């Protein structure tokens, strides 16, 4: 991964955040095809950000472009599996960008009808789950991606034979409901 001319190594399990106006390029240096997801959120702040790379702006407290090895981060045990906090920070274009990885053990479920005010995207990294959103149930298999709008009621239940692991990316902006 090249960000503003700086090389970074990224592999399976990594999260790459690219801040607005940062030049970037991705090259597969492996021997097999690389699959990656691109999640692009836009907020009104995009139109107010200076037209120069974030490393030149160096705004204190704002997350710059970064490459994170999520698999190297510590997990915290929960009653239903575990959770890894990947990041939680304001950026130049978001009030807050959050990401976590949740593991649900076989037969376990999240709280029923969870509600969050932010826009969220989840990628099922492994396993099989039943996801109920606003009363409608569907199944997700490894590699599936799902979007939850603000205030959607949702429950995730592991229906597979091994732990289910999913990563959530959440954006909070000025338009996020309170």
Instruction: Report the SS3 class of residue 46.
Output: helix
**How much of the chain exceeds pLDDT 70, in percent?**
98
| CATH classification code of 2-172 | 2.60.120.10
* Residue matched to tokens 């593991």: 103
Asked if 153 contacts 114 with a C-beta cutoff of 8 angstroms, the reply is: yes
List strands edge to edge, sheet with 6-7.
Answer: 6-7, 2-3, 24-25
pTM of the complete model: 0.90
Residue 8 has pLDDT above 90, yes or no: yes
Asked if residues 64 and 55 have their Cβ atoms less than 8 Å apart, the reply is: yes
pLDDT in tens, 16-65: 998 888 889 999 999 999 988 888 887 777 767 767 777 777 677 888 88
Residues 146-170 have pLDDT tens digits of 999 999 999 999 999 999 999 999 9
* ∠ Cα 163 169 175 (to 5°): 145
Task: Specify the pairing of strand 76-78 against strand 119-126.
Answer: unpaired
Q: How far apart are the first and last CA of the chain?
A: 36
């Amino acid at each position: 991964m090249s960000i503003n001319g700086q090389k970074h190594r990224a592999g399976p399990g990594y999260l790459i955040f690219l801040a607005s106006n940062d030049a970037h390029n991705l090259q597969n240096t492996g021997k097999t095809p690389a699959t990656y997801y691109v999640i692009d959120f836009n907020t009104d702040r995009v139109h107010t950000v200076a037209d120069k790379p974030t490393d030149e702006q160096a705004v204190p407290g704002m997350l710059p472009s970064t490459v994170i090895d999520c698999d190297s981060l510590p997990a915290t045990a929960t009653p239903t599996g575990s959770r890894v906090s990947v990041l939680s920070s304001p950026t130049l274009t978001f009030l807050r960008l959050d990401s976590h990885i949740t593991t649900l053990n076989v037969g376990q479920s999240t709280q029923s009808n969870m509600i969050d005010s932010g826009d969220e995207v989840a990628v099922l990294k492994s396993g099989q789950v039943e996801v109920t959103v606003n009363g409608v149930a569907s199944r997700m298999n490894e590699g599936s991606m799902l979007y939850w709008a603000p205030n959607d009621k949702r429950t995730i239940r592991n229906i597979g034979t091994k732990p289910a692991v999913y990563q959530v990316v959440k954006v909070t902006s000025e338009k996020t409901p309170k």
